[in-house]
Amino acid sequence: MNLKNKTALALGGTVIALGAGIGVAGFAQAETPSPNPTPSTSANTSTETSGKGGMDRGHGGERGADAAALATKLGLTEAQVTTAMDKVRETLKPATRPTTPPTEAERTAKRAAYITALAKELSVSEDKLTTAMDELKAAREADHAAALKTRLDAAVTAGTLTQAEADAVAKAATAGVISYGGGRR
């Protein structure tokens, strides 16, 4: 097997391993939604629970929005934010499940509609809500990038990847070619 094939195989294996790890972690955190949501004391009240609520899935919720962190940024309670998020997601939920992934324009329009409705429901300005959500997203992406770097460094140390391969994976993640759980860029 030549070096090019080994590199491609290593990168492919890394991407699969990272994807599986992220998928397992997401599945482990999934909750079954109740018909009458109750506020959670958990810091993870992500709208991605049970695969529902993610904008990328066409359900009208802000993907990965953490109610507790958002509440803190907005000076509200987690219960207020959770209740408002649930109400807005239900209101914006499409009548039928989309059969194709949304385009970038559709994703942008859904996010704008979500922010408008959530800002109104929370009685905060759209600008304040957008800023808070963007800051939280940037922090999540930075955390994911740091975790990826740690895993790649460990793979290099263990001899599983060369430094060049690890750099290529990191570059692909930063460019949005592969996801390390930080969402689309």
Query: Tens digit of pLDDT for each residue in 26-45?
Result: 444 444 444 444 444 333 33
Which among 22, 17, 127, 150 has a CA at the least distance from the CA of 74? 127
Alpha-carbon distance of 100 to 94, in angstroms, equals 13
Those residues of the chain that have pLDDT short of 50 are 24-64, 182-185
pLDDT attached to residue 181:
54
Tokens of 158: 């263990």
What integer pLDDT is reported at residue 34 of this predicted model?
A: 41
> What integer pLDDT is reported at residue 166 of this predicted model?
93
Which DSSP category does 31 fall into? -
Q: Running DSSP on this structure, what letter comes out for residue 64? A: T
User: Could you tell me the two tokens for 56?
Assistant: 């990328």
- In this prediction, residue 164 carries a pLDDT of 95
Question: What per-residue confidence (pLDDT) applies to 175?
Answer: 87
Q: How far apart are CA 50 and CA 43, in angstroms?
A: 16
Q: How far is CA 15 from CA 50, 110, 153, in A?
A: 23, 29, 15
